[in-house]
């Protein structure tokens, strides 16, 4: 039945995805913050770019996120673009990259007021899921679908009407998307925030013998620093 699902729309959706290529919550109805930061990447004299981003596919996104102080380099002047992102790091990048309004004080058993990302976590909390025991788990790794869901909520895009069935046409591993996040992930794909991975056949094509695209969403894979910078910077400026 999915094979017959609006092939024209599916094709256009696929082109849209390729054109930009690399715990569920209820719809909050949140509006996009009206004070989104404009890019400011003025570099101070003596500034040295992180030593490990030259040539990275997300180099410009990383530089712009550094420029608006959404992220910071490590003490050794690295960004570690392939490192998995933690929930605290996402909260910090989300709060500072999208200039989120101050959040209300909330008691969390595993985040004290002395935590380095405490205020950012409070600011990002309306857009990120908490666990059933009330914990935030700041050191837990963020997945690709987690990042997509938080970004869509924080930018107010969760109100967009997007048919989640389109994901099943585009991605071979569409079943990897958590059912509760399906709409939010579909919006992220529609808005070119979340890109698929091409898996090539031995002959160099990324179409299989049946002519279907070998495109994978890898929804529950850990998200990297480069991927986070790319998605948030794209969302911040608009694709």
* CA–CA dist 37, 41 (Å, integer): 12
Average of pLDDT values for 115-142?
96
Question: Which residues, other chains included, contact 143 with Cβ-Cβ below 8 Å and sequence gap of 6+?
Answer: 219, 220, 221, 222, 223
* CA–CA dist 194, 184 (Å, integer): 11
| Residue 235 resides in a domain | no
| Residue 150 resides in a domain | yes
- Kindly report the average pLDDT of the chain as a whole number: 82
pLDDT the model gives residue 184: 97
Please list, residue by residue across 102-138, b when 16 or more beta carbons sit within 10 angstroms of its beta carbon and e when fewer do. Answer: ebeeeebeebeeeeebbbbbbbbbbbbbeeeeeebbb
Q: What is the total count of domains within the chain?
A: 1
By residue range, what is the domain housing residue 25? 2-230
| Residue 237 resides in a domain | no
Q: Are 37 and 101 in contact (CB under 8 A)?
A: no
* CA–CA dist 146, 233 (Å, integer): 16
| Residue 191 resides in a domain | yes
Q: Are 165 and 5 in contact (CB under 8 A)?
A: yes
Q: Which of 53, 47, 48 is nearest to 79 (CA)?
A: 53
| Residue 238 resides in a domain | no
* CA–CA dist 190, 155 (Å, integer): 14
**Rg, the chain, Cα only:** 18
Confidence of residue 11 (pLDDT cuts 50, 70, 90): very low
| Residue 123 resides in a domain | yes
Question: Which residues, other chains included, contact 124 with Cβ-Cβ below 8 Å and sequence gap of 6+?
Answer: 90, 91, 92, 94, 95, 100, 103, 150, 154
Comparing 22-31, 125-134, 157-166, which segment has the lowest mean pLDDT?
A: 22-31
| Residue 186 resides in a domain | yes
Comparing 26-40, 80-94, 146-160, which segment has the lowest mean pLDDT?
A: 26-40
Angle, nearest 10°, between helix axes 182-190 and 144-154? 80
- pLDDT at 174 > cutoff 80: yes
| Residue 239 resides in a domain | no
* CA–CA dist 205, 167 (Å, integer): 21
- pLDDT at 33 > cutoff 60: no
Long-range contacts at 3-12 (CB < 8 A, ≥ 24 apart): 5/165, 5/166, 5/168, 5/169, 6/169, 9/166, 10/166, 10/169, 10/170
């Amino acid at each position: 039945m999915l094979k017959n699902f609006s092939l024209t729309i599916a094709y256009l959706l696929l082109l849209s995805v390729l054109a930009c290529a690399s715990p569920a919550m209820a719809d909050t109805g949140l509006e996009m913050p009206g004070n989104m930061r404009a890019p400011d990447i003025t570099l101070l004299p003596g500034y040295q770019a992180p030593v490990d981003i030259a040539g990275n596919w997300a180099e410009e996104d990383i530089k712009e996120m550094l420029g608006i102080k959404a992220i910071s380099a490590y003490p050794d002047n690295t960004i570690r673009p392939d490192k998995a992102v933690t929930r605290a790091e996402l909260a910090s990048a989300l709060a500072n990259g999208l200039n989120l309004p101050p959040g209300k004080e909330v008691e969390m058993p595993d985040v004290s007021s002395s935590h380095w990302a405490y205020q950012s976590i409070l600011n990002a909390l309306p857009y990120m899921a908490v666990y059933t025991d009330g914990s935030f788990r700041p050191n837990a790794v963020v997945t690709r679908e987690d990042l997509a869901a938080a970004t869509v909520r924080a930018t107010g895009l969760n109100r967009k009407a997007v048919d989640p069935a389109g994901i099943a046409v585009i991605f071979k591993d569409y079943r990897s998307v958590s059912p509760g996040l399906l709409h939010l992930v579909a919006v992220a794909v529609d808005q070119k925030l979340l890109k698929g991975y091409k898996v090539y056949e031995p002959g160099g094509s990324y179409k299989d013998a049946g002519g279907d695209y070998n495109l994978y969403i890898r929804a529950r894979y850990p998200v990297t620093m480069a991927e986070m910078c790319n998605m948030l910077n794209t969302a911040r400026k608009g694709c």
